[in-house]
Structure formats: C-alpha cells, structure tokens
Amino acid sequence: MILRTFVRSLRRLAFTASLLSACGSHAPTGSPDGGKGTGMNGGGGTAAGDGGAAAYPSGDLAGEDCDPMVAEECGFPFPSNVYLVDDPSTPTGKRVHFSATMLPLALGRRGSPAAWNDSDGFSPGQAPLTLLPGATTQGLPTQDDIGASLDPGCPTVLLDTSTDPPSRVPHFAELDVYGKTPSDQTFLIRPAVRLKDATRYLVAIRDVRGADGNPLPPSPVFQALRDGASSSDPTVASRRALYDDIFAKLSAAGVEKGNLQIAWDYTTASRQNDTGQLLSMRDQALAAVGGAGPSYTIRSHEENPDPYTARVIEGTMHAPLFMDHAQVLPGFGGETPAPVTGFLLQRDAQGKPRQNGFGDFEFTVTIPKSVAAGTAPLPAPILTQGHGLFGNRYEGLGGNYLSRLANQYGYVTVTVDLVGWMNNANQDPVWEDDGVAAAEFVMAGDPGLFRRMVDRGTQGIVNELLAVRLLKGSFAQDPLVQYGGRPVIDTAHAYWRGDSQGGILGTTFMAVATDVTRGYLGEPGLPYDLLLMRSVDFGTSLSLMQGTYSNARDIQLVLGLMQMFWDRLEGDGFAPYIASDMLPGTPAHQILIQDAIGDFQVTPLGAHLLARAVGAVHLTPAPRPIFGLTDAPGPVAGSAIQEYDFGLLSMPGVTVPETDAPPSYDGDGGDPDPHDRVRQTLSAFQATDTFFRTGVAQNFCTDPDGGAGACVYKE
C-alpha cells in the first residue's frame, strides 16, 4: 500500500509526548532548523523570472504580527506577500519572514519560524487559503468543471501578473469539509496547473454566498482598502499603495473591485529555491563516485528464490553522505539522535549542502530467469524501482509484479530504500519505520521540524541516482552478474519505474537523473498539499493533527507551510523541468503516467496536474476527458498519461466525494480501492516495456472487438 498513514504503529507516541517540552529550537539561532523569529514587517514580491527585485509596492503590516485581513486566523490569507522581506541575495530579491505568532498554537506552544528563513517565495502548488465565514460552494468552479474558472464572471479569480494584461489561471475552489462549523471551513483555491516560479499572483474572491443566498460581507480591513474608507487599523494606511496596484491589475484583467470580498497577492519561490539543494547534492555525489559508481560490498546472494528470478544479490554501496550520520533508522537510548533532533542535512557556511564523508546503504539486484537463460535479448537493460511511502526496496519483488515484468521483458533490477520515507525491511525492534519519526514531527507541533524529513528524502533521491550509477559502473563486471563468462547488464540503457510514492518522488528523480531519460510513473501526483487530505492513508496523521491543533484552519495552514518544504523533494518543485527547460547538466526526459479513476490513496487530480506540467498527451480511447490535455491515439512519441477505469464510480457502496476528503466504501465485498491494480495488468506491462525501449506511448487496452479501446476493467 502506498501513501500509507504516517503511522502504522503508535506504540512510540508515549516517547513523543516526553519530547514536546524540548523540541522548540534544536539548532543554532539563525540556522534553517532553529532559532528565534522576530517581528514581521511585511514585504512585496517580484516580477516573473528567477531574478529581479519587486516592481510593486510592499504590503507593510505596520509592525503587526498577524494580518488582520482575516481576523479569525492569524496566518490567513496564505500565502501572502506580507510575509516577504527584502533580501538582494536571493533570486527573487525577497525572502520569507514569519513571526512566531503567525504559526498556529500546538498543544499550547508555538514552533520556531526560522526553518523558512531561506525561502525566497511560496509554493507554486499550494492552494491559496482564506476564510469567508458562512460561505457555501454555490457557483464555485469544481474539480469536474475547471474550465468554469476561466469564465469572466467566475466568483474566484487567480491571476498571473507576468503577462500583460494579467492572465487567468485555471483552478477549482472548495471548502474544507473538516471544519466543524461553516465559520471554521477554510476556503481553498486549488490551481489546476503548476504555477510559474518566481512569479507574482493575485487572488480575488467575489459574490460568494451564504446559506441565505446573499453575498457575504468583506472583512472590515479589506472593505476599508477596497472602498478607500478610513480605518483605525494601522495596516490599512500602510497598504494603500499595494492595493492600488492590486486593484489596477485586477481591473486590467476585467475584474472590478466593487464587489470583491477579499483580494491579495503572493509570489512563488524561485527554481533555485526549490531545486538547488538536491541538484547540489546530485552533482557532488556523482563527481565523488565518477563513472565507476560507488564502491560496494556483496553481502549475500540467493539462487532461484521465486519462479521468475534466477538470482538475488544483496549488498551495500559506499555512497556520498550529506546527513549527520548514515544509519537509516534512528536508534533509541542514546544510540543515535532522535528524529526531532538528528538526521540533519550538513551545510556549509552559506547554507549549501556539504558532503559528510560516505555512508553504507543497502541495495538489492535481481537477475530474472529469462536473462540468466539467455532467452531474453542480452545484455539486459537496467530497471530501478521506486517504492511506496514507508515501503522498502523489496516492493514488487519475490514473484510480484516487478519480478514478472523483469522476467517477461528481460530487465536487471536494482532497488534501494528511500531514506526518510521507508519501512525497515529488517524490522528494527525499537523503531518500526520512518512513519514513527513522521508522527513525532506532527505531535511535536512544530511544522518547521518537518523540513528534516524532506532533507532526509533528498539523501534518498541521491541514493536512487547512485544505485543506477552503481550498475552502469564497475558492478556490471562483477562475477555475480555474469553468465557463461558474459556480463548480462546493458550499461547503456537504464529506466525508472515507480508507483504511488515511487511515482510522486519518481517525478523528482526524472527531473534530475543524468543516467536515465525514460520513466514509468504509476499512480503519481502533485502536490502533497492536494494529495494528503484526499487519501485514506492520511487518516491517522490527520487524527494526530486534530489532537495537536485547535481547529481545521490551523491544519490547512500547517499543510501549506509544509508544502514549502515538500517542493524541495517532491515533483511540485521539479515537474516543469522534466521534458523542457531542463535543470543544469540534465538531459530531457520522457515519462509515461498511468492512474486509476477513483483511487483511494492518490487522487487522479494530482496525476492530471503532473501531466499538464510536463505537457503530456492524453492517450485515447479513454474512459473520460482530462482538462487541459491534448487527446491523441497511440502510438505517440514523448510523455503521455493513460487512465484506467475499474468501475469504481458506479460501484454500490463507494463514495468518491468532490471535496478534500478521500473516497469511502460502506459495503462488505472486499477492498474496492483500485490503487494497486494498474501495475498488475498485462496492458500496463506492455505499455511500460514499449515506452522504455522506443520512447513511444501506446495503448494496449482493447475493446470487445479486439481493437484499441479505453482501459476499462469493470467487474
């Protein structure tokens, strides 16, 4: 199961509670991971592009720590340019500066805002958040009618100011169903495309109605800004120039201010902000190991462990280390640091990742029987697999789908555990998996600590890259990967496949890989800000957050704050650079995306966003249209998306809500979740192998007459 809950075992939470009083600031003041925040003074943003200072007035909050625009929630609206200050050293000319009181109270205390101090803008994927107490969804664009958001009269407006005039951004709007009352329901505007980097966006909301059918009033502060009225609030006078600019740009886009209920601006982070950390680690690591790849040690090998596999080789690779230590899972009782204090990314004086020697990380290589027997074409290409959330490198092996695919089509596989997001395959007796560490971050009530989970994940991506280099390098000459004195590994061809988290973080892998240019992403998506609340696997974590924070609004704000870290690891920060505008030193890549309609664990909305971000075509015939994509019958060269329909939407007892809640099932006929089913189909096997070897996306699903058909598997 992928996107599993942050905890499968809560037996360690008693230990967590003992940490709560000691986890406020664990790093020196001024570092990204700790320190004290100072008063917030607001700021502006930037013009489009990865450089240039703000070209519009700043939004000074006149020394206030909270934005009074939404009196009920200190951090709303969010994200907002009032949380930026001037910093000429960043690509945007700005950096984020939160006050301590902007962070929500968690169990009576607040975390440190210092973890965000090196961000030069906000997430390009996160949903803008606000509160309109008593709002209904009447007239709002929905996830199934995204095109309505581009209508001139749409109540919600998201504008890209890098164009002249500002252009509308497709989106849908929703209310957080986890708010206990209408006055507690966060109002979310979810972009339907991945926004541009280092770009100023405007949000405007008008004509949203309450249960009585009448438009809701604006807050007093916004009304004073909109109408030019006097106000005793000091932030009104300090923001007049900013709002003159906002209203002028809205007017240029055909949105007049007279009936606005709220409007604000925010600026997305630069490409360097989101991708620079991982790119630096990649370049240092690959330079350190060279063409020969990391050195390695074989620990064991096993012959014929299942009907599809001739040999399994277990070993450790001596890989460049960027964390403070290489032990994958934390110990207890002083053996290694606890997760809220340890596993820190090592940085130089400028805050850039610094190699900290080498660490030994486990890998598994399998040689299928078809390759060993020479019945598959030799030499065999390399196939690396990305496992699911809190899974491990054995996912798909042992006679499962990866073993079958590798044997049927002739691939040598290599897999590693994704550090930071894995379950220890050996089941450490003290720490069951990284999910416990994740639970501790949630329970600690300091969202800034979550950055450490993301940092650990970047080491995991580096290890994935090094695993490929391992097989392309000296390992290919090892006697254990030779049959009849002949090496069986094709060092010129390597591919990626991954499902769920392996697809989500596989998006990042495919944007930074230098030894792989084609990849299969099953049940992927972006951003986590969209995926989590729509996943059944987030239920336990959500329950922990509900026990930590006082209301649903705080949880939405925390998820937005966490997304700013996620962008440095997941595809939201990397997807636009897979096929074009590539990152430095990186070739162009192609991806094949496959998802299942009604997925309980990873909403297909995230896969659609990914497909739009990479310019993928939508393979037809298809079960349904996808907004913003070009339909094309296969075969087509380049990136593509293909959806599967297992009949979930018409299945009795199944509910797939059009809200930020996961699907549910109240029947007794077994688990209907289609999440793991695509990867098991013969048509997916065929499409994967064809795409890897030719770069062509082709539909292998058939209609009742045997011709090309939509991938419909209704039972």
Per-residue pLDDT tens digits for 358-403? 989 999 999 999 999 999 999 999 999 999 988 899 999 999 999 9
Residue 31 lies in a domain: no
> Is residue 278 located within the same domain as residue 234?
no
Parallel, antiparallel or unpaired: strands 167-168 and 156-160 = antiparallel
Count: domains in the chain: 2
Residue of 248, 245, 265 whose CA lies nearest to 77: 265
As given in the structure block, the two tokens for residue 502 are: 């392996």
As given in the structure block, the two tokens for residue 38 are: 């100072």
Instruction: Give the distance from CA 71 to its chain's centroid.
Output: 30
304's CB contacts (< 8 A; 6+ apart) are 310, 311, 369
> Is residue 219 located within the same domain as residue 319?
no
Collect the ranges in the chain with pLDDT lower than 70: 1-55, 326-343, 424-444, 715
CB 33 within 8 A of CB 41: no
Quote the domain boundaries for residue 149: 38-97+125-268
pTM: 0.92
> Is residue 527 located within the same domain as residue 655?
yes
> Is residue 581 located within the same domain as residue 647?
yes
Residue 1 lies in a domain: no
Dihedral sign from CA coordinates of 372, 374, 380, 385? negative
What is the model's pLDDT at position 62? 84
Determine the 3-state secondary structure of 526 from DSSP.
coil
Residue 91 lies in a domain: yes
116-153: per-residue pLDDT in tens?
999 999 999 999 999 999 999 999 999 999 999 999 99
What is the model's pLDDT at position 426? 53
> Is residue 664 located within the same domain as residue 519?
yes
What is the model's pLDDT at position 309? 98
Task: For tokens 């600031």, name the residue.
Answer: 25
CB 425 within 8 A of CB 393: yes
What's the Rg (C-alpha) of the chain? Answer: 25
> Is residue 240 located within the same domain as residue 175?
yes
Of 236, 268, 300, the one marking the end of a domain is 268
Residue of 418, 464, 447 whose CA lies nearest to 281: 464
Instruction: Give the distance from CA 504 to its chain's centroid.
Output: 6
The helices-and-strands tally (H runs, E runs) of the chain is 15, 27
The span from the CA of 8 to the CA of 384, in Å, is: 27
> Is residue 220 located within the same domain as residue 323?
no
> Is residue 519 located within the same domain as residue 555?
yes
Of 215, 239, 268, the one marking the end of a domain is 268
Q: Give residue 1's identity as a one-letter amino acid code.
A: M
> Is residue 312 located within the same domain as residue 166?
no
Residue 576 lies in a domain: yes
Residue 24 lies in a domain: no
What is the model's pLDDT at position 438? 65
Bridge partners (DSSP) of residue 521 are: 498, 593
Residue 557 lies in a domain: yes
> Is residue 519 located within the same domain as residue 658?
yes
Q: What CATH number did the domain enclosing 573 receive?
A: 3.40.50.1820
What is the model's pLDDT at position 64? 87
Residue 109 lies in a domain: no
> Is residue 480 located within the same domain as residue 407?
yes
Of 238, 268, 298, the one marking the end of a domain is 268
Residue 28 lies in a domain: no
The span from the CA of 249 to the CA of 239, in Å, is: 15
What is the model's pLDDT at position 419? 85
> Is residue 257 located within the same domain as residue 277?
no
